[in-house]
Structure 1
Amino acid sequence: MRLNTQPHRPLCIILQDFALGGTEHVALTLARAWSEAGRAVTIFCGKAEGPLRPLIEGAPVRVVEAPGGIVRQRGSVARLGAAAARFLHAEPHHSCFIPGNYHWDAIPPIRRLPDGIRPKIVAQLSSPISKPQRRGLRKAGFRWKMRRLLRGIDTLVTMSDRQRPEAARILPDVTVRAIPLPCVPDGSAAPTMAEGRTIVAAGRLVAQKAFEDLISAFALLDDPDARLVIVGEGCERPQLEALVARLGLQDRVRLPGFAAEIRPALDAARLFVLSSHYEGYAAVIAQALAAGRPVVATDCTPATHELLGDDRFGMTVPIADPAALAQAMARMLAQPAPDPMLLAQAVERHRVGSAAEAYRALLDGTPARRPQAGWQPAWNTDAEPAQTAVSA
């Protein structure tokens, strides 16, 4: 899809670094799409390095690192926002994209830029507002954080229609729009019929992904021909390898490491499994369906409710329940492989081109909101102005 871009309206993306992560992947995917369509795109970052940097190699994207560099750590995003505000004051941009919850702390200094310099601010909500791990005071605190950091922005983008009404209630003075997660590449190969009995999972080898649950569930399968491949790298590799050995699965479970693209592993799979304890929208579910592979997933993301409603597409199981995970995998492997084109068509709305165009329309649409009374210049970024207390 050719975007209707306006080169004279430069766009700035605020990014901590090029670390592995869904938020970073989406931001860089959009940066590449916009720049290749003729849009002037700047990425202002704390550190211009990380394993996802190749996603924009060869694309006409300008990368600007904060003076002195800002390493990812506690408080680093607020400092990144202060540095970005100084940069945007010196080099005004028409609009500014804040990718995901992690980067919200960068918003206040940018929001306080003076009228005529302040860019239009579009921020992204990258994880559910309500989730099992966020109850009571944690839930109230998250909503307070939303009100404090997102007040005065122009648009908040949710990744699903289910999230939009709740976000709009919390931020009644902010425009809230839903745009499907841009995670299916344009022009990707047509899916093929699944064969064999290989189960694939993917993600960082960290506790959140619950690969210990997946390996334990796989051990319960009464299927000697089944194989499990977990694509990814991370700090839990030693524990996972020890579990595989303890269960005697060395010949049936592989951990091949990080892969820049998941599609080759999906093409070789019969089934994809997401075992996480919590996720944002979980782009990998849409990517698996686009490859024509059914999915078994824990109830860790809104994507399960939106994408796995049809039994042919997959199943949703409780979080942290290896027995239920094993039963679902066995059931899916026992069924005939579904029509891969049917699964792929279900996620067409997640194509990068259509999502990039939808974001472009928001970024280029209405003029930036005028700053509220009492704004401070970008160079006065040591503290946030006094806030009015808002009950959660």
Structure 2
Amino acid sequence: PRFTDILNKFFMMEDQGALYTQFCKKENKVKHSKKQDRHTDGHNKPYSRKMNKNLNITEEMLSKPMNSDKYDTVKLPSKGRPYTVSIAVPASILDDTCLKEDLRIYLVGQLAKSAAIFGVDEIIVYNDHCWKKCADNPKAQMNLIELMTTVLQYQECPQYLRKKLCPMSPYLANAGALNPIAAPHHLKATQWCKYREGVVMGKCGKAGSLVDVGLGRQVSVKDKDVAEGSRVTVKLTPAARVMNSPFGELVSPQEPRLEHGVAWGFSVRVADSLSEVITDCENSSGYDFLIGTSDRGTLVEDLEEKQFQRALIVFGGVDGLEQSLSRDKLLTASCPQHLFDAYLNVCPQQQTRTIRTEEAVPLTLACLTAKFSAWNK
């Protein structure tokens, strides 16, 4: 009985405290409504001084003209890069090497990070038909392909656009644990760069459209034919830095690479086979430099200089590119050496028994990116 009395007194105190808290809140609201606040907008609503987490700027900053001193200038290189680099990775690596969903998501996030570090322009997720545990389950295979594609696209998208461009997906349930790729186009609201990724929010009269580029103010562009909700690349004028209503122009996402050598994100596409990886190039001219990777390849030091426009680096799964080639009926090459312009071993001194695909990607890109840059000086 004594214990029961103590509990009753405790709950009574809790109830009284809750009532007192509610009373104080009501009193504060009444006092605040009577007080004239000089920080008000046209509707007499006080501005919030709290930090807007999505835009990383305060509401007070939004009420004032842009101040160039509030931005950190992002300097871009002066030399462009005329060529593109694409990589192809089989989705089957998620079947045999990763047993849990969160590990699969983290692995794909590391692939995206490697691609961003070395300036990859395109990632191709392909079906090499070398499945282990879900060999007889096409639905499970498609789920893994979709998981890899979804996470790659999510990681590539700038943070301030994800709510608008990345719909809710069960594959992104653990996306919060992913490391940010910190790519050049992942700009903060306090950074000023003449290029920014944005999403079309709607029409701007008859002259053009309004685009959200993550600056806290929508940018006006002249092109009015772009559908609402489309992702675009905006080039801002120097004067837009101090404008209340900045304006810019829509440009190709390739322009930062061509003009300044900056990889402005990567595209993601899906291929159903190894042959589709090679033939379904976005450019009608196709890839002009095909590179395969394997521990059975030649030394990367022996790679001869080659002038190219579109390089494709293909990685194999657990069983290697040889198995992927043997299971593709559309390819007539008898061995990978006949299919690729170069078949390379980028780590001939490896001490481990095997190198996983997600480990081979940064190793290969580290070796080849330096060569590509030297060839195109």
TM-score normalised to structure 1 length: 0.26
* Greater C-alpha Rg: 2
More strand by share: 2
